[in-house]
């Protein structure tokens, strides 16, 4: 899967996403992450990419032209690559990361992980000229109801969550199957050595070697934890359980 990030701060994306598990996945060529500097596409001779807003008001706005040209260049590169491979003409999703978008969640990560190419557009200052958004954006997505100084951190959060679902990115023992949000349940508590730490013992059942009992205990812990910490998710789980037991 190939991620393309349109940004004024490419070094943020490259430094943030080429380490740890994603860095390893890039080396293995399971994914690629490219940061495209929007400033490289401005036709302004001073390299300017922002200007005052019509109608007045504080702050500067990113201008349409460099954003449009950067995006079209990436789209053209993808189209040429696909033509050479004689592969699909599937439209490429262009995600504008903005606090005005739909809130990102695990199901959205799963859906986006099925794409072969994704373009993220990161805004700065007061945002981006509406006309170019109308031209290129297919999805408006937020990572939560708070405002960041720019879209880069939000794009990085989404890319991390999507990339780890791409086959081959996680090792088997890091599997995305039994974890938090799977089936609307939070993950059960986990323990490692030593068996006793500050007078706290690892639950006896986990030392029993009885895998069926361990699984049963973990499911119960997941249910209890979800009920206590995320009653909203617990409600969804209960509904799902009721539906799956209907004749």
Chain contacts with ligand ADE (rule: CB under 6 A): 97-99, 142-144, 146-148, 151, 154
Task: List, as own/partner pairs, every contact residues 23-32 make where C-beta atoms lie below 8 angstroms and the sequence separation is at least 24, other chains included.
Answer: 25/163, 25/166, 25/168, 25/169, 28/168, 30/1, 30/166, 30/167, 30/168, 30/169, 31/1, 31/2, 31/3, 31/163, 31/166, 31/169, 32/1, 32/2, 32/3
Q: What's the DSSP call for residue 182?
A: G
Considering just the CA atoms, what is the radius of gyration of the chain in Å?
22
Which of 98/222 has CB closer to ligand ADE?
A: 98
Tell me the closest approach of the beta carbon of residue 154 to ligand ADE, in angstroms.
Answer: 3
Q: Which H or E run contains 238? A: helix 231-244
What is the rounded distance in angstroms from the CA atom of residue 219 to the CA atom of residue 54?
Answer: 57
Do 169 and 31 contact (CB within 8 A), yes or no?
yes
Tell me the closest approach of the beta carbon of residue 162 to ligand ADE, in angstroms.
Answer: 14
Tell me the closest approach of the beta carbon of residue 114 to ligand ADE, in angstroms.
Answer: 22
Which of 30/153 has CB closer to ligand ADE?
A: 153
Which of 148/214 has CB closer to ligand ADE?
A: 148
Which of 7/42 has CB closer to ligand ADE?
A: 7
Tell me the closest approach of the beta carbon of residue 211 to ligand ADE, in angstroms.
Answer: 41
Angle at CA 18, nearest 5°, toward 14 and 24?
A: 160
User: Among all residues, whose Cβ is closest to ligand ADE?
Assistant: 154
Which of 125/181 has CB closer to ligand ADE?
A: 125
Tell me the closest approach of the beta carbon of residue 140 to ligand ADE, in angstroms.
Answer: 9
- Chain center to CA of 96: 12
Which of 77/106 has CB closer to ligand ADE?
A: 106
Tell me the closest approach of the beta carbon of residue 190 to ligand ADE, in angstroms.
Answer: 30
Omega of the bond leading into 218 within 30 degrees of 0 (cis): no
Tell me the closest approach of the beta carbon of residue 17 to ligand ADE, in angstroms.
Answer: 16
Which of 113/156 has CB closer to ligand ADE?
A: 156
Take residue 140 and report the two structure tokens written for it: 């408006």
Among the residues of 90-210, which ranges form H helices?
A: 106-112, 130-136, 152-163
Take residue 208 and report the two structure tokens written for it: 């029993």
């Amino acid at each position: 899967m190939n991620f393309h990030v349109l940004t004024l701060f490419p070094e943020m994306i490259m430094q943030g996403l080429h380490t740890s598990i994603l860095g390893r996945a890039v080396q293995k060529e399971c994914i690629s992450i490219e940061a495209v500097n929007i400033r490289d596409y401005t036709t302004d001779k001073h390299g300017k990419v922002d200007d005052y807003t019509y109608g007045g008001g504080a702050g500067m706005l990113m201008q349409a032209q460099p954003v449009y040209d950067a995006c079209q260049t990436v789209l053209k590169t993808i189209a040429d690559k696909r033509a050479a491979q004689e592969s699909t003409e599937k439209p490429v999703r262009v995600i504008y990361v903005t606090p005005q978008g739909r809130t990102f969640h695990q199901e959205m990560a799963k859906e986006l992980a099925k794409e072969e190419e994704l373009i993220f557009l990161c805004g700065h200052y007061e945002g981006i000229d509406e006309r170019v958004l109308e031209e290129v954006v297919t999805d408006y997505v937020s990572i939560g109801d708070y405002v960041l100084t720019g879209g880069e951190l939000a794009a990085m959060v989404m890319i991390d969550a999507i990339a780890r679902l791409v086959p081959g990115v996680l090792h088997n023992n890091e599997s995305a199957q039994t974890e938090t949000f799977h089936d609307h349940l939070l993950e059960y508590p986990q323990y490692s050595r030593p068996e006793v730490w500050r007078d706290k013992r690892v639950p006896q059942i986990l030392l029993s070697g009885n895998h069926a009992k361990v699984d049963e205990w973990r499911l119960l812990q997941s249910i209890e934890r979800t009920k206590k910490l995320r009653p909203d998710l617990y409600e969804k789980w209960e509904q799902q359980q009721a539906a799956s037991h209907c004749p």
